[in-house]
Amino acid sequence: MSAIHTWACFLLWIGFATQDKTPDVTVTCVISEECLLPCSFQPSTGETIEWFRQNVVVYKFERDNADDDDDDDDDEDGSKEHFQNEQLAGRAFIFPHLISDGNATLILTRSNPKDRGTYRCHVHTSTGEHKAKVIVKVEAPIRALSLELTRLSGYEEMKCTARNVFPAPRVTWATEPPTFEDLRPVTRIQSDKEGLYMVDSRLRRLEGQPDLIYICRVTTSYSGPTWTASLREREIRGSQGRDLTIPCFAPPYLNNPFLHWSFSNGEDPSHILTYDSHSGDSVSSPPWDDHVQLDGFMVPFGDGSLRLMDPKHSEHTGSYTCVFSVPHSTHTERTDVTIEALDVDGRSADKASHWWIVGLVIALLVLGLAGMLAYMKLKGNNTNARNDPEEVTELHSVKDPTGDPNESSPFTAGGTNGQTGTQTGAENKHPANT
């Protein structure tokens, strides 16, 4: 019997010990927000509540109902807050009116990374002692993720950014469709004076593949949701007055997304329209009502292409941006659209100007070729003249200087008519006068 009595007492002690001790609890506090560290016990009287962090008392609270009327510094129920350490000063408290219900939960306000650690709750009452352990994690979850194309480094690169994150996040890159080239991003993670992290990851745009979707994923170490941002850039051209479809397609991992279209021509972006895939509601801005059309039936399937009707060169040339969004994920497609003006014949003025330039270049080439041929011909004539001296002598000789002055040269006889012949005849007719 003694052995049975001993075992019964041991099991009873185990039962009481198990009843008094609360299982360990893990709590994740969000930075700058309020956080609750739970602690419950069997209610009694004369409670003294102590909270420890790494075996150091960080908060102490005492309630003594017997001294209600004797202590002017006590609360209405005789409770007194004896201690808060420097780290939690002004940020920690409990609800005194809940103590009688066995609730010694500690409330931390304005949580920060230094609040991490293991906390222990000790409650002493008139009937015994109660303990609980709380493991506190602190995080600043990702609130937003941006992805943009930048040229500040002298070449085109994708820039993925997240701010005010804790603990330090991890960044991965991918493309759609997948590419066989190695993706070599450069990622920088920096912390501010409050311990929050800013991540800046950059990936150089791959050459020769203009239609790729670049995908940036960011995760934290507390198994929170993975944030995803993706981007595609393109350029298209259209003609004034002729309808143009601006493409926009979501990746397959976005289901029933919310769609937003905007436009910018160097100024602040203006709203075109939004479409909610869940409700089917579409809202457009008045300036665009008569110029855009969206097939709402196709949006839930990832096709948010916008039909631009009767576009004008001056009004509708610019950058069009469509954004598909679901919780924790966004996909952006930015399209630079050029609306070409038309001339009086209905042809593109830009194309006409191009043909005019081509014609001018051809005319200059023809003139240059003609000038070159004329120069070569002139140069050839001068060369022939220098190479034929006998012809030059025949043209410039009058008579032979060594012959008889009364004897005409063949050139003189052949080249004289009229007066020379008449004078000779006269002399022969009147010899007496000589």
* Distance (Å, whole) CA 223 – CA 316: 45
Q: Which of 291, 316, 294, 312 is nearest to 304 (CA)?
A: 294
C-beta separation of 124 from 13 below 8 A = no
- Mean pLDDT over 20-28 rounds to 76
Q: Looking at the structure, do residues 125 and 36 belong to the same domain, yes or no?
A: yes
pTM of the entire predicted model? 0.68
Q: Looking at the structure, do residues 41 and 155 belong to the same domain, yes or no?
A: no
DSSP state string for 354-399 = HHHHHHHHHHHHHHHHHHHHHHHHHHHHHHHHHT-HHHHHHHH--S
| pLDDT tens-digit readout, 283-309 | 999 889 889 999 989 998 899 999 999
Q: Looking at the structure, do residues 21 and 59 belong to the same domain, yes or no?
A: yes
| pLDDT tens-digit readout, 197-252 | 999 999 999 988 888 999 999 998 777 889 999 999 999 999 999 999 999 999 88
Q: Looking at the structure, do residues 156 and 263 belong to the same domain, yes or no?
A: no
Q: Looking at the structure, do residues 98 and 186 belong to the same domain, yes or no?
A: no
* Distance (Å, whole) CA 225 – CA 211: 28
Q: So what's the pLDDT on residue 420?
A: 38
CATH of the domain at 88: 2.60.40.10
Domains in the chain: how many in total? 3
Range of the domain at 276: 226-341
Place of tokens 């690169």: 157
Residue 163 is assigned to a structural domain of this protein: yes
* Distance (Å, whole) CA 322 – CA 47: 61
C-beta separation of 68 from 89 below 8 A = no
- Any residues with CB less than 8 A from the CB of 203 and at least 6 apart, and which? 157, 158, 160, 173, 183, 184, 185, 186, 214, 216
Q: What is the mean pLDDT of the chain?
A: 79
Q: Looking at the structure, do residues 129 and 193 belong to the same domain, yes or no?
A: no
Q: Looking at the structure, do residues 86 and 60 belong to the same domain, yes or no?
A: yes
Decide the pairing of beta strands 106-108 and 117-125: unpaired
Residue after which a domain boundary falls, among 341, 364, 389: 341
Q: Is 75 helix (H, G, I), strand (E, B) or coil?
A: coil
Least confident of 325-329, 368-372, 380-384: 380-384
